[in-house]
Amino acid sequence: MKTPWNRFDFLLLPLLGGAFILLLWHLSSHSWSGDLPDPAKTWHESKPYVLEPWAKRGELDQGILRFTFLSLILVAKGYAIALILGTPIGFFLGLSPTFNKAFDPIIQILRPVSPLAWLPLGMVLFAKIKGINVTEVAALFTIALCSMWPTVLNTAVGVRAIPTDYLNVARVLKLSRWKTLTKVMIPATLPYMFTGFRLSLGIAWLVIVAAEMLTGRPGVGGFLWQQYNALVYEQIILCILTIGGVGFILDRLMSVIERRFKTI
Partner 1 sequence: MSAHLELFNLTKVYPSKKGPQTIVRDFNLQIPKGEFVSIIGHSGCGKSTVLMMVAGLTTVTSGGIILAGRELSGPGPDRGIVFQSPSLLPWMTARENVMLGINQVFFTATEQERAQIAEYYLSVVGLADFMDKRPAELSQGMRQRVGIARAFALKPKMLLLDEPFGMLDSLTRYELQQVLIDLWRRNQITTVMVTHDVDEALYLSDRVVCMTDGPEAGIGEILNVPLPRPRDRKAILELPEYHRLRATLIEFLEVRAHHRPNSSNSPSGAATPPASVPVSA
One residue of 7, 47, 56, 171 binding partner 1 per CB under 8 A: 171
Contact indicator for 239, 220 with CB cutoff of 8 Å: yes
Shortest distance, position 194 Cβ to partner 1, whole Å: 13
> Residue 19 and residue 153: Cα distance in Å, rounded?
40
Shortest CA distance to 215 belongs to which of 143, 113, 164?
143
Burial class of residue 233 in the structure, from the number of CB atoms within 10 Å of its CB (0-12 exposed, 13-18 middle, 19+ buried): middle
Interface segment toward partner 1; rule CB under 8 A; list 51-59, 185-193, 213-221, 233-241:
185-193
One residue of 184, 199, 209, 246 binding partner 1 per CB under 8 A: 184
Interface segment toward partner 1; rule CB under 8 A; list 26-34, 95-103, 175-183, 211-219:
175-183
Of 6 and 168, which has the nearer Cβ to partner 1?
168
Q: What angle do CA 150, 152, 158 make, to 5 degrees?
A: 95
Shortest distance, position 174 Cβ to partner 1, whole Å: 6
Using CB under 8 A as the binding rule, whether residue 168 contacts partner 1 is answered as yes
Contact indicator for 162, 99 with CB cutoff of 8 Å: no
One residue of 77, 111, 160, 183 binding partner 1 per CB under 8 A: 183
Using CB under 8 A as the binding rule, whether residue 108 contacts partner 1 is answered as no
Using CB under 8 A as the binding rule, whether residue 165 contacts partner 1 is answered as yes
DSSP strand pairing (56-58 vs 61-62): antiparallel
One residue of 48, 53, 187, 216 binding partner 1 per CB under 8 A: 187
Segment 120-149, which members bind partner 1 (CB under 8 A)?
none
Of 47 and 171, which has the nearer Cβ to partner 1?
171
User: Total residues contacting partner 1 (rule CB under 8 A)?
Assistant: 18
Using CB under 8 A as the binding rule, whether residue 169 contacts partner 1 is answered as yes
Shortest CA distance to 211 belongs to which of 56, 62, 75, 63?
75
The DSSP secondary-structure symbol of 133 reads -
Shortest distance, position 187 Cβ to partner 1, whole Å: 4
> Residue 93 and residue 18: Cα distance in Å, rounded?
44
> Residue 21 and residue 28: Cα distance in Å, rounded?
10
Task: Name the amino acid, one letter, at 15.
Answer: L
Contacts with partner 1, residue ranges (CB under 8 A): 163, 165-166, 168-169, 171-175, 179, 183-184, 187-188, 190, 263-264
